[in-house]
Structure 1
């Protein structure tokens, strides 16, 4: 046998051993100590063979997402908008009821899995998707939150205004955190009224708590009419006209922004009682729960402008975001 043939034979012998070890481990489920015994080699050599099999492409790892899991779509949205995380709910239909029924449980599961003990949680007060999330959330036993803070005063009709403290209270119960309420309107008649309310010690507790939040859970408001919380049910017509003139497309906690995510300051900005833009963007984790076709411009703008860094949405909205 020539040296060349000998070298080829040795190489093929090693490849044969690699394949044999890899098949035993990955296809037959045999543990490394037993593979070592069967092949009469050391366990450390088995480990090296398995690593080499991966390096040479003999073993290829393929992750197959089951139906209803959108891992590739999540990655595309995350990369396109520079987000920290994206979670996509499997909505049965592309209308508001279908989207909401999927967003609630999906957001609840995400919160259940990712909240840590001692979190200081801020929650917005005007979002049907947040209400659906809280209704689907089970008590979190991994460790209590420290506080749950209302980040925006109540807005909208009487039913919507009553939702704000209920959301805060229920989330506090489920997470074990102390509730801190903001018992004011979200929009008042003048800057002087706002400043007077902010001077109240009870309200000041919430304002101080905004400085140290570790996570914000919020919806995203849209300039377009939506059954989920149109601006028209929360803001006077004069304010809506001014925001339209200023090219506002959406808001987070009534912090308004353009399609590029740039802040919009209008006369209404001095009358809002809620967390400000700088305080909001300083929160390490800013989770938005939002979906629906009319919300697409606002969601994209919120992501571009850094108003949020985690997005929980549905597959229809996610695809539109990539097309927008």
Structure 2
């Protein structure tokens, strides 16, 4: 959904004349009956909202199709999509574009449920243009996070962003990621919380990030203990479920009352789309696949090569 304060039809006519018909800005101005400075503003706005996109291809890059095939076979999952270049340096733009393509191909309809997790990558792509229209689709968070100061871990805001971009219906969790024992007991009978847990069981799609190894994490939700010895062997996490190199779940104090779907429930979701970029996440991706926590991976070329190099090593 392209949002702008300017007339979308005028934006489209200006962009088409300039980028497709190869007219100069003065000629576009004459065609549209506006000033040349107005044309410049129209073209800038068309790029800003994603009506016009540019892609700079890497020179002599690897065969992305071959990388996708090899990585799909290694991980034993249904689909792998790989964006060009290093997406950590591109604000995850390519990963957002591929997510839009995958979601569009799923053809979700009114009443279907899409879950989304917290994290830097999911928060970034939730604000990007180019997502498909999802009118009537329900978007819900997978974890609590009302108390978080880092926007990437405020999952309700990620839900709101994606719903705004797609026209979907947002639903929110009004609870911290790790409630106190008394609040946890109260939540079990709270109608708004029960509505969310019911949506978890109905979900058709999950969009989630993959956390990097515990010892290398620069950002982490405040509810996870930084110095817990049991977590030192965790190579990654998905929806606050930490796992070791073999995909076995790693528990820690308070994990029994975290606001999140169970591992079994996550595995039952028909399409689970994991987003991950950064070489440090290579072991996290492999372990998450061993745990059976995602069916589709969207990553970038350097990360895909690093995952494959783990096998070569």
Could you say whether these structures have the same fold, taking a TM-score greater than 0.5 normalized by the shorter chain as the test? yes
Aligned to 1:85: 79
Secondary structure of 1:311's partner? strand
Measured after TM superposition, the shift of residue 232 of structure 1 is 6.7
Larger radius of gyration: 1
**Matching residue within 116, 122, 132 for 2:115:** 122
- 1:110-162 C-alpha deviation (Å, 9 max, x unpaired): 323434224310111x2211122222233534x63431111111177413377
Aligned to 2:191: 201
Does residue 241 of structure 2 align to residue 241 of structure 1?
no
**2:116 and 2:140 in contact (8 A); partners too:** yes
**1:224 and 1:294 in contact (8 A); partners too:** no
Q: Quick one: distance in 1 between partners of 2:123 and 2:287?
A: 23
1:1-324 to structure 2, matched below 5 A, reads 70-91=64-85, 93=86, 96-98=88-90, 100-118=92-110, 119-124=112-117, 126-138=118-130, 140-141=132-133, 144-154=135-145, 157-160=148-151, 163-189=154-180, 191-222=181-212, 223-227=214-218, 230-231=219-220, 235-238=224-227, 240-244=228-232, 247-324=233-310
- 1:287-314 C-alpha deviation (Å, 9 max, x unpaired): 0011102211111110111011100001
TM-score with structure 1 setting the length:
0.69
Aligned pair count? Answer: 249
**1:108 and 1:134 in contact (8 A); partners too:** no
Unmatched runs of 5 consecutive residues or more in structure 2: 1-59
- 1:267-324 C-alpha deviation (Å, 9 max, x unpaired): 3321311111111111000000111022111111101110111000011111111122
- Structure with higher helix content: 1
Measured after TM superposition, the shift of residue 234 of structure 1 is 5.2
Unmatched runs of 5 consecutive residues or more in structure 1: 1-65
TM-score with structure 2 setting the length:
0.71
